[in-house]
Chain A
Amino acid sequence: MSTLVDKNVHISTERARRLEQLACKLATTEDVLIEQGLDLLFMKQDCPSESEADVEDDWQLLARLETENGPVPYNTRPIHKIDRDQIVSIVGATLDPSRIRRIDE
């Protein structure tokens, strides 16, 4: 078992009240609840979110594709600045809003 240390922290009156009530309701101590809360917080910090994992997957995919197909000459080719003042018409394929998901959903 880990060594216990004393640590003074400042939390709001409301949180202190709810912590006390919850400990009472669950028949445990405030210390245990704080430990459990910290475990959750640490777990979240240690595990990347789905969106971070998704972005990481994309970087790995890109590395693999560049190995297979050659490196992309990224940011070395002429830039086409979309000049809004010169646009006569825009037509395009629309996306049904119900099909859009954020990568962390």
Chain B
Amino acid sequence: MNDLRRKLLGAAAILLLKPFAALAAAWNKDAFGAKTPQDALTGIGVGSPAPSKDLVIEAPQIAENGAVVPIEISSAIAGTTAIAVIIEKNPFPLAARFDFQNGALPYVKLNVKMNETCDVRAVAIAGARHYTATKEIKVTIGGCGG
């Protein structure tokens, strides 16, 4: 009897908590709040990613305006399900994380802000494996303060 009651209570608790859990999982506060690239990596569950030539970052070598730096990332690594963008010297390095499913190709193009000249790091997640590539972008005018 007691056991049944406990199960019912447990089920009720799960039903109550689920909507909140779904909301909380939607934005990775810890990873986006990280102040170092390493903490940002840890925040998205990536330990030490292996460098890969199949992960390509297309971006200008020199960005005159740090407020709008176009970056294009594509992965030729089989089974890539997510791509993250880390701007190493930004106050909060993690810029974005994209999860691909149902036929979306591991490709994204976006504009980011860069505080100063630094490496832009792409991370590809393919199952339990993690890959990375970097590209240095020189910034003439920073795009964070102003």
Binding partners A and B: no
Interface of B toward A, CB cutoff 8 Å: none
